[in-house]
Amino acid sequence: MDGVIALGELGLDQKRPEREWSEQEVMFVRLLELACPRRPVILLIRGRDTYY
């Protein structure tokens, strides 16, 4: 990931069918692991009328 300075709009979309949530969580964690600890991350979390 040389040359990459940030990853944008990583997140969880709970407006997608519930059967997809666990796969989303796995990919979310993997992408965070790529970004951390040196690159900023922009999070996108939507659904269920709850904001974090």
User: Over the chain (52 residues), what is each successive 10-residue block's mean pLDDT?
Assistant: 73 85 90 80 73 51
The predicted pLDDT at position 23 comes to: 92
DSSP states along 1-52: -TT---EEEEEEETTS-GGGHHHHHHHHHHHHHHHTTTS-EEEEEESTT---
Range of the domain at 36: 7-46
The predicted pLDDT at position 26 comes to: 93
The predicted pLDDT at position 18 comes to: 86
Assessment of whether the complete model's pTM goes beyond 0.75: no
Task: Answer whether residue 2 is part of any domain.
Answer: no
The predicted pLDDT at position 34 comes to: 82
Task: Answer whether residue 52 is part of any domain.
Answer: no
Gap between the Cα atoms of 52 and 50, Å rounded? 7
Task: Answer whether residue 51 is part of any domain.
Answer: no
Task: Answer whether residue 15 is part of any domain.
Answer: yes
Domain count along the chain: 1
